[in-house]
Each structure stands twice: as structure tokens, then as C-alpha cells.
Structure 1
Amino acid sequence: MIGGSQSVALARSETRFSDIIYEKIVGMIAEGRFPVNERLPSEQNLAVLFGASRPVVREALERLRQDQLIVSRKGSGSYVRQRPDSSMLQQVPVGSLADVQRFFEFRAGLESAAAELAARNWQQADRQLIQEALDALEQCLVRGDLGAEEDFLLHEAIAYASGNQFHTIVRNWFKPHFSIGQSVTRSLSLRRTPQHLRDVQEEHRAIVEAIFNRNEKAAYDFMKTHVLNARARMFQGVEP
């Protein structure tokens, strides 16, 4: 019989294995080995392919569904829904793609709460910092620069304006995690249409306007939508 601590360790090992399989399948979709609109191999065949148990494969497939990379059709199996840009995988440390996506989920709650507080608590100095950061990001858009650092600074200014020091402390703790996600999504944006880049900037502008108008609910909602959209943009890429 496995003890409590051993059970937890085993569960973590199983979860980690599912993350590896998840990343491998993402890579195979990006490479075109599993084409868009085609059915994936069955759970059993994938388990054999990766040397894993079916529950581990099932967990990996569920995350792929959450990421909208695959879709299930009742009685038929799982089908590839979209093909991500293969350059995305080159920018993410091997074995960490699932954690990058989980961090977006974490950010969605954290940063929307910070935006809500910023709308309630900003002072004139905060407003100036936020506006300067938004303007700097706009200039990156005009020049065609990556803008990852400017993006980070805008979100940091909003966190500071919340008036709650724990929002800035958490950002410092997890700065590498924030930076990876923002660098990847912005570099992918540069490979897409100018309208795509403009849409991302308009999301930032809507957040800032809601904060300046002290509209707490709108600031919360716009920030949450923006972060979840960034998460989804990780997998937008090559057309079928």
C-alpha cells in the first residue's frame, strides 16, 4: 500500500509525464504530423506510442482540448482543430509549455484583481506611469519592435497603482514566468497581420481607459479577457 507522501509524489510524477506527452503532441501538430481536421490516434494507440498509461494520455488530451488545439466528436474521437506556429515551441523551455499555459491561468485572476484595485486607488503619479508605459508600447507598435519589456512595464505600472504591495512582490517573484509568456506572444504577434497587433494594443488601451475612469468592473473584465486572449494567441498560427 502506498503512503500519503508516496501517493502525492506518484501523482506529481504522473502529472509531469502528461505534460511531456502534451508538449510532444503539440509539437507533432505544429510539424503537421497530425494535420488539421484529421483524427488523432486513439488513446490506446497514443499510450503505446508514448509508453504511457491511458489515464496519463487522457489528461494530456484534456489540456489540448482546453487549449482548443483539438476537439472531441462523440463516437468518433479527437480531431486537430488548429495548427500552432512551430516557432512558439522554440521559444519555450523544453518540458515547460504546460506550465506556461498554467501561468496564464494564474495571471488571469491575479492581474484582473490588480486592475480592479488600480481603478479604485490610482494616484496622479500612477496615472502618469501607466500612460507613459502605454505610449511606449504604442511606439513599439509603430516601429515594429518586439515590445516585450514595454508590455511588462505597463502591467507592472498597473500592479503598482493597485496600492497593494503584494501585487508588485508577486510580479518580482515570478518575473521570468511573466517575461516568457509576454515575449512569446509578442514575438508571435510580429509574425501576424498589422491588424492583429492593433487588436492587442486596443485591449491594453481599453484596460487603461477603464482604470482612468475608475470603472473597477470594466478594468477587471478587460484585463481578464486580455490575459486569456494572450493565452489563446499562443496557439494561433499556421492556417490549415
Structure 2
Amino acid sequence: MKSAELPLSSSTGRLSDRIYDHVLGQIAIGILPVNCRLPPENGLAELLGVSRPVVREALTRLRDDGLIASRQGAGWFVTRRPAANAFDFAPVSSIPDIQRCFVFRMAVEGDAAGLAARNRDKQSLRRIQQVLTRLDTMVAQGREGGLGVEEDLLFHRTIAEASGNRFFVETLTSLREQIAIGVNLNRNLSLIQPRGRILRGQQEHRRVFEAIEAQDEDGARRAMRTHVENARKRIFEGG
């Protein structure tokens, strides 16, 4: 099998760590699939601008992790991909990170909602509506209804599922912990703010659903982006 090219990123850190992370990333996303032969060590060293011992150190670590193996006279070959959770997003560790997560969600979830409007069927639409109804009930009950964090997360996930593209679902799954921080904060603040605040959030949910129901792709995308941006503003700017 033809060897893959491996342009090295400009990240900083110990050289062997950079080579290790880079090759690991290429394996994880399938650029270097299982059974693919890596370029020879000398070729890798020249291609990546490092010495051969640095390359060998990184490849030895990958071998010890069970990701590559050396075949006598043939070179290094990929033996398996890393576990699915190997590249889970790092935890949110600061207020700016929470805001960045909202900005990221605007792009990803906006497009997911647009695709959901295009691809949804009766079953996926019914699932979204069921979660929306549960949120309606919780909002109507106020404090007694609970925070509704899980239901809020589920509403967004069912829309991603309705898109018909598993990568939207996998992205939200990987980001679940980070998204939950923002949702939890938003809904906690809603309990101590005027009731109109949580009602506005639920009205935004309904507008997203109605656009998906109407198969209005552009409208669903706009409604979801507006909702996520407004959720960010409700936390950091009030209202």
C-alpha cells in the first residue's frame, strides 16, 4: 500500500512528542488507515524536518501503544486505530472557554438544524417534539419541574440525530460535558431571574422545531444559531 504524506503542524513541544501526536492524529482520522505502510524512518525524518532518532522514539511509543508494528524488511505498518474517546475534547476550564464553546456550537448546531430540516422524517420529528413537550412541562412547573438540563441536552441531540449525519451526533457526544456546563449555568440563572427569561429560551426551542417541521432549512439554521447566541448572552450579558 502506498505510504501517506504527513505534513507536520507547527505545534510546540518536545520533538518526539510532536511526531507522536501528529502520526497518532493521522491514524485516528483515517489518513493512515489500518494496514497502511508508513514512510521509511529516513523519509519521515526528512519530511518532518527532524532527526532519525527523534522519529524512531515516536514510532517506538506508537508501537508500545499497539498502534503500529514493524514487519521485517517491509517497514512500519498501522495495526489499529486509537479508541474512540482518545480525542475527547478537553474540559472547559475558564469563563472564556464557556463562551468559545457557545460560539463553536452556533456553527455546528446551526448546520445540524439546517440538515435536520432537510432530512427529518416523521419518526425523528416526533422524537424532537416529545422532548420539546417535556421541556414545556418543566417550564410550566417552574422550580418544581427541575432544571431540565438533561432534557435540554436531549433536545439538541435529537436534532443532531435528525440531521442524518453521525458526525454531528458524535461531536455533541464528545462535547457533552462542556455543553452541559453552559446549559446548567443558564438554567440555574433562569430560576433566579424573571420568568420571562426561561420562557424566551423555550420559545426559541419551539421556533427551531417549527422550522424543522416546515422543512425550512435556512430558517432552522438561523433559529438554532440565534438560540445558542441568545443563551450565551443570557449568561454573560443578562436578559
**TM-score band, normalised by shorter chain:** 0.5 to 0.7
Partner of 1:100: 98
Corresponding position: 1:147 with 2:145: no
Cα 1:191–1:236, aligned 2, differ >3 Å: closer, same or farther?
Answer: farther
Q: What CA distance in whole angstroms lies between the structure 2 residues aligned with 1:155 and 1:108?
A: 12
> In the alignment, residue 196 of structure 1 is paired with which amino acid?
R
Q: What CA distance in whole angstroms lies between the structure 2 residues aligned with 1:210 and 1:157?
A: 15
Q: Write the mapping of 1:14-163 to structure 2, written as runs, cut at 5 A.
A: 95-144=93-142, 145-163=146-164
Runs (5+) with no aligned partner, structure 2 = 1-9, 14-90
Q: What CA distance in whole angstroms lies between the structure 2 residues aligned with 1:122 and 1:168?
A: 14
Q: What CA distance in whole angstroms lies between the structure 1 residues aligned with 2:219 and 2:190?
A: 25
Runs (5+) with no aligned partner, structure 1 = 8-92
Cα 1:189–1:211, aligned 2, differ >3 Å: closer, same or farther?
Answer: same
Name which of structure 1's ranges 190-199 and 127-136 shifts more when overlaid on structure 2.
190-199
SS in 1 for 2:161: helix
Note the C-alpha offset of 1:191: 1.1
Q: What CA distance in whole angstroms lies between the structure 2 residues aligned with 1:97 and 1:175?
A: 17
Cα 1:94–1:215, aligned 2, differ >3 Å: closer, same or farther?
Answer: closer
Q: Is the 8 A contact 2:117 2:163 kept in 1?
A: yes
Cα 1:222–1:181, aligned 2, differ >3 Å: closer, same or farther?
Answer: same
Q: Write the mapping of 1:187-202 to structure 2, written as runs, cut at 5 A.
A: 187-202=188-203
CA RMSD, 1 decimal: 2.1
SS in 2 for 1:234: helix
Does 1 or 2 have the higher relative contact order (CA < 8 Å, sep 6+)?
1
Partner of 1:181: 182
Between Structure 1 and Structure 2, whose CA radius of gyration is higher? 2
Note the C-alpha offset of 1:236: 3.8
Q: Is the 8 A contact 2:92 2:178 kept in 1?
A: no
Cα 1:209–1:6, aligned 2, differ >3 Å: closer, same or farther?
Answer: closer
Q: What CA distance in whole angstroms lies between the structure 1 residues aligned with 2:166 and 2:116?
A: 12
Note the C-alpha offset of 1:95: 4.5
Cα 1:178–1:94, aligned 2, differ >3 Å: closer, same or farther?
Answer: closer
Q: What CA distance in whole angstroms lies between the structure 2 residues aligned with 1:200 and 1:110?
A: 19
TM-score (norm 1): 0.59
Partner of 1:25: none
Q: What CA distance in whole angstroms lies between the structure 2 residues aligned with 1:99 and 1:110?
A: 16
Q: How many residues align?
A: 151
Q: What CA distance in whole angstroms lies between the structure 1 residues aligned with 2:203 and 2:193?
A: 16
Deviations 1:109-157 (A, max 9, x none): 0000000000000011101100000001111101222111110010011
Note the C-alpha offset of 1:94: 9.0
Q: Is the 8 A contact 2:92 2:98 kept in 1?
A: no
Note the C-alpha offset of 1:237: 4.8
Cα 1:162–1:6, aligned 2, differ >3 Å: closer, same or farther?
Answer: closer
Q: What CA distance in whole angstroms lies between the structure 2 residues aligned with 1:96 and 1:200?
A: 24
Corresponding position: 1:210 with 2:211: yes
SS in 1 for 2:236: coil
